[in-house]
Amino acid sequence: MSAPDATYFRKGFGLKQDVEATLTADYSGRVVDLLRVHDYRLTVGDVTVRLAREFGFCYGVERAVEYAYQTRHKFPDRRVFLVGEIIHNPHVNQRLRDMGIEILMPGPAGFDYGTVTPEDVVILPAFGVTMADFQTLRAKGCVVVDTTCGSVLNVWKRVEAYARDGFTALIHGKYYHEETRATASQVDKFPGGTYLVVRNMDEARDVTEYLAGRGDRAAFLAKYARAASAHFDPDVHLQRIGVANQTTMLARESLAIGEFVGTAMAAIHGEEYRAANFRTFDTICSATQDRQDAVNALLLDPPDVMLVIGGYNSSNTISLAALCAEKVRMFHVEDALGIDPARGTIQSRDPISGQTMETSEWLGRGPVTVGLTAGASTPNNKIGDAVVRVFATRGIDPATLG
């Protein structure tokens, strides 16, 4: 999405130094710094907290948030809009609202840009926006500040190439997620470009079953009506497939889906057919992979309980929670407020069912080790707040944490 003119910006405004102090005050964390100094491990009394070595804000998130701050600083007297949430963290989005940035939220028909004028400034989030949204805003003539993550742009290039070459983009992701909607829309750059979104291996199996002639056309179209191009025809558009993914999905599952579909195509049509009509690339972003790898490393010496901090609508955080839940007792909390030291309870959400629950005496009794990680949209100060509440649950004064 390039538009080389004076109203489109992708590299900020050169105001990093002007906003750096505010960013540090809003999001840095003393307790996280303390954990780093102590080799990501802190013991006070009978409680030990171990922090995964990769956690929290990634480069793409830092960049998006910084550019939003730069934008507000650059245009103090203009109305500034944000298309949806900048990232999936309620505290960061509320901070932007407090700065006078109006967050546009989608309705049943998508985003309504009716109030946007040429004099306004519009920020695009780290997830990106659809081709239609981008074109609508460019036609408005307003200033557009594009914070789309570079890792997301890399996936867009793959999907665009698939559409250009006549392949259907099979996207591992959540069809309703902002990033996946934006990624899927890239096929519209070419006439007849087509996409299909699958959530997991079970849905990938629906694809291979159909390829093998064991699927029901009407049932397939009904099930994937919201997850496919409007003109999608499984009898036509599953003949040539290129696999991509939402960058924040569980990496091993994305790779497994690609291998599974490719193997099925070879079994049905032969290796020569697969070579000509199937493509797959690992498009999980490095930050997502690094955080998943760090959790796996921490779990080699399993803690008694695992705490995952991040927005309940944060895909990469949900992936981390699911990974942890396979190995140890795990609690996914949106922020430190989910931990109530006075009552000894924790409010958490199950990564599979999506149900929120309250658990009493979640730390158990006696010596306990708590593993900790956080999604890529969770700032350090919120991680530190959670650590303080973990210790406070056992009556340990935060002042004793160094």
Residue 14 has which token pair?
């050169």
Each residue of 144-179: pLDDT tens digit? 999 999 999 999 999 999 999 999 999 999 999 999
A 10 A CB-CB count for 212 gives 12
Boundary residue ending a domain (257, 283, 309): 283
- 179 assigned to active site: yes
Residues 225 and 325 in one domain: no
Residues 119 and 86 in one domain: yes
Residues 80 and 105 in one domain: yes
pLDDT in tens, the chain (402 residues): 444 468 999 999 999 999 999 999 999 999 999 999 999 999 999 999 999 999 999 999 999 999 999 999 999 999 999 999 999 999 999 999 999 999 999 998 899 999 999 999 999 999 999 999 999 999 999 999 999 999 999 999 999 999 999 999 999 999 999 999 999 999 999 999 999 999 999 999 999 999 999 999 999 999 999 999 999 999 999 999 999 999 888 888 999 999 999 999 999 999 999 999 999 987 778 888 899 999 999 999 999 999 999 999 998 999 999 999 999 999 999 999 999 999 999 999 998 888 999 999 999 999 999 999 999 999 999 999 999 999 999 999 877 776
CA proximity to 48, closest of 241, 302, 225: 302
Residues 185 and 136 in one domain: no
Residue 68 is part of which domain span?
Answer: 59-149
Q: What is the mean pLDDT of the chain?
A: 94
Question: How far is Cα 69 from Cα 214, in angstroms, rounded to an integer?
Answer: 53
Boundary residue ending a domain (120, 149, 178): 149
Where residue 80 sits, what CATH number does that domain have? 3.40.50.11270
C-alpha separations of 280 from 97, 157, 186 in Å: 40, 13, 17
Write the CB contacts of 32 (distance below 8 Å, at least 6 apart in sequence).
51, 56, 380, 381, 383, 384, 387
Q: What pTM value is reported for the model?
A: 0.91
User: Is residue 16 one of the residues assigned to a domain?
Assistant: no
User: Is residue 23 one of the residues assigned to a domain?
Assistant: no
A 10 A CB-CB count for 252 gives 14
Question: How far is Cα 103 from Cα 96, in angstroms, rounded to an integer?
Answer: 8
User: Is residue 18 one of the residues assigned to a domain?
Assistant: no
Residues 178 and 236 in one domain: yes
Residues 68 and 189 in one domain: no
User: Is residue 21 one of the residues assigned to a domain?
Assistant: no
User: Is residue 15 one of the residues assigned to a domain?
Assistant: no
Residue by residue, DSSP assigns 265-332 as HHHHH-HHHHHHHEEE-----HHHHHHHHHHHHHTTS--SEEEEES-TT-HHHHHHHHHHHTTSEEEE
Residues 213 and 267 in one domain: yes
| Phi and psi, residue 318, nearest 5° | -60, -40
Question: How far is Cα 336 from Cα 49, in angstroms, rounded to an integer?
Answer: 15
Residues 87 and 168 in one domain: no
Boundary residue ending a domain (149, 167, 198): 149
Residues 218 and 306 in one domain: no
Q: In the chain, how many domains are there?
A: 3
User: Is residue 11 one of the residues assigned to a domain?
Assistant: no
Where residue 390 sits, what CATH number does that domain have? 3.40.1010.20
Residues 276 and 193 in one domain: yes
User: Is residue 306 one of the residues assigned to a domain?
Assistant: yes
Residues 240 and 340 in one domain: no
Each residue of 194-242: pLDDT tens digit? 999 999 999 999 999 999 999 999 999 999 999 999 999 999 999 999 9
User: Is residue 34 one of the residues assigned to a domain?
Assistant: yes
The neighbouring-strand residues paired with 245 are 172
Residues 339 and 395 in one domain: yes
Beta strand spans in 45-79 (E): 47-51
Catalytic residue among 54, 160, 179, 253: 179
